[in-house]
């Protein structure tokens, strides 16, 4: 296991299970719905199709309220219903939560199953929220009303983490252990996988680019990758900083892809047209830039896992501004970040079990506790 700035990067299913046992108890098992899977390659060569049959089961319950990381909450996104949705991989049992930007009311949806380590989350074109489950090796979806459905990933111990909606109408995801990029059809649950040529790439975050391709980070490979939705062809670009450990990635308003360098302590951008990479140093030393998202103000906003700040970078100048998060009793671990429907940036505060928001106009930070 590699431990960097206190963040666990889980390289194998045995390690993931061992870490999990320290933080969460086992729950009862649940079935998966039957899916057809297609195994793709990194070229346009026709792929082999197989069918996997598994039991069908969907479960949902409601109560009052991002490598895989054991601190909650983790991933966060703006939902189609105007709420902010987030994952809670280990806190009081695994849950998907949502918070209203209007009044801060929090709702949690509890999956009563042996489902652990909910990681990435993203809105789909079908009106549902889609999420990854690295420990259970599944892709899940939850309706705005709380109905949950799960789909098994064909590759054993693939550990899906990042997920995003693609321009082709599919959801695209990364497989940390499987070393693949996957896609799932919202219409029928069919999963297709594409192999990355680097055997130890450790793909993590993923985002749709302005060029129609899907872009992703490779933590171990120290590269930024892209995959064509139409052909499945993968291209990779080496990051100049050695052992930068790229993590979050998002499409910027300037037509570039912007990403964080967790160990490199930089914000990077890559041109979809040329593959040229530019890097900008984060002012706070060893800040551990983590999640990143485009804001309504034209800037890119990012979290600092160890820096206790929310940062923003102006695309035109590369100037970085940091906003201190209020001090806490446990230390703030900031994970995912997203633009909300209310014009603010919303982020996940691990250890404190809070969701935060920052005004893009004033930099004022407000925090909302979830459950205890």
Q: 126 preceded by cis ω (within 30°)?
A: no
pLDDT in tens, 183-195: 999 999 999 999 9
Domains in the chain and their CATH numbers? 2-24+59-369 (2.130.10.10)
Strand partners, 93: none
Is residue 66 predicted with pLDDT exceeding 60?
Answer: no
Return the half-sphere exposure (C-beta side, CA atoms, 13 A cut-off) of residue 290.
33
Is residue 24 predicted with pLDDT exceeding 90?
Answer: no
Residue with tokens 């990933």: 153
Instruction: Name the pLDDT band for 72 (thresholds 50, 70, 90).
Output: confident
The arithmetic mean of pLDDT across residues 337-366, rounded, is: 95
State the average pLDDT for the chain: 81
Please give the angle made by the CA atoms of 249, 342 and 282, to the nearest 5 degrees. 35
Asked if residue 283 lies in contact with residue 322, where contact means CB atoms within 8 angstroms, the answer is: yes
| Residue of 250, 254, 249, 247 whose CA lies nearest to 273 | 254
The arithmetic mean of pLDDT across residues 149-168, rounded, is: 96
Is residue 364 predicted with pLDDT exceeding 80?
Answer: yes
The DSSP annotation for 168-228 comes to: TSSEEEEETTTTEEEEE-TTT--EEEEE-SSTT--EEEEEE-TTS-EEEEETTTTEEEEE-
Distances (CA, A) of 310 to 102, 119, 293, 304: 22, 21, 11, 6
Q: Which of 130-144, 166-180, 255-269, 273-287 has the least mean pLDDT?
A: 130-144
What letter would DSSP give residue 255? Answer: S
Is residue 23 predicted with pLDDT exceeding 70?
Answer: no
Q: Which of 33-42, 79-88, 103-112 has the least mean pLDDT?
A: 33-42
What letter would DSSP give residue 326? Answer: P
Q: What was the pLDDT predicted at 331?
A: 59
Q: What was the pLDDT predicted at 36?
A: 31
Strand partners, 78: 84
Asked if residue 241 lies in contact with residue 261, where contact means CB atoms within 8 angstroms, the answer is: yes
Q: Which of 110-114, 169-173, 287-291, 303-307 has the least mean pLDDT?
A: 110-114
Cβ burial 292-326 (10 Å sphere, 16+ → b, else e): bbbbbbebbbbbbbbbbbbbbbebeeeebebbebe
Instruction: Name the pLDDT band for 21 (thresholds 50, 70, 90).
Output: very low
Sign of CA dihedral 4, 7, 9, 10: positive
Distances (CA, A) of 21 to 159, 175, 271: 17, 22, 42
| Cβ atoms < 10 Å from Cβ of 114 | 13
The kind and range of the H/E element at 250 are strand 246-251
Q: What was the pLDDT predicted at 15?
A: 33
d(CA 289, CA 282): 8
For the chain, how many helices (H) and strands (E)? 1, 34
pLDDT in tens, 249-259: 999 999 999 99
């Amino acid at each position: 296991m590699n431990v960097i700035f206190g963040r666990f990067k889980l390289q194998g299913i045995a390690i993931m299970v061992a870490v999990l046992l320290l933080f969460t108890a086992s729950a009862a098992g649940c079935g998966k719905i039957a899916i057809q899977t297609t195994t793709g390659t990194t070229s346009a060569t026709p792929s082999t199709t197989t069918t996997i049959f598994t039991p069908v089961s969907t479960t949902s319950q409601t109560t009052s309220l991002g490598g895989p990381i054991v601190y909650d909450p983790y991933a966060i996104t703006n939902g189609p219903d105007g709420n902010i949705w987030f994952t809670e991989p280990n806190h009081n049992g695994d849950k998907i939560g949502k918070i209203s930007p209007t009044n801060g009311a929090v709702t949690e949806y509890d999956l009563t199953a042996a489902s652990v380590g909910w990681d990435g989350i993203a809105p789909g074109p079908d009106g549902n929220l889609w999420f990854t489950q690295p420990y259970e090796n599944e892709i899940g979806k939850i309706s705005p009303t709380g109905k949950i459905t799960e789909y098994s990933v064909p590759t054993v111990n693939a550990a899906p983490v990042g997920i995003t909606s693609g321009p082709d109408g599919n959801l695209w995801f990364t497989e940390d252990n499987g070393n693949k990029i996957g896609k799932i059809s919202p219409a029928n649950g069919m999963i297709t996988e594409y192999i990355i040529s680097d055997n130890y790439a450790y793909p993590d975050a993923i985002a749709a680019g302005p060029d129609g391709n899907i872009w992703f980070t490779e933590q171990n490979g120290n590269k930024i990758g892209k995959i064509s939705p139409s052909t499945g062809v993968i291209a990779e670009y080496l990051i100049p900083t050695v052992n930068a450990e790229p993590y979050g990635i998002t499409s910027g308003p300037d037509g570039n892809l912007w990403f964080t360098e967790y160990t490199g302590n930089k914000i990077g951008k890559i041109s979809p047209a040329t593959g040229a990479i530019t890097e900008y140093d984060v002012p706070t030393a060893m800040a551990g830039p983590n999640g990143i998202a485009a804001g309504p103000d034209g800037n890119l906003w990012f979290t600092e896992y160890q820096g206790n700040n929310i940062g923003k970078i102006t695309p035109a100048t590369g100037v970085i501004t940091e906003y201190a998060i209020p001090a806490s009793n446990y230390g703030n671990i900031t994970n995912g970040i997203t633009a909300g429907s209310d014009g603010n940036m919303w982020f996940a505060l691990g250890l404190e079990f809070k969701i935060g928001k920052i005004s893009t106009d004033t930099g004022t930070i407000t925090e909302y506790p979830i459950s205890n």
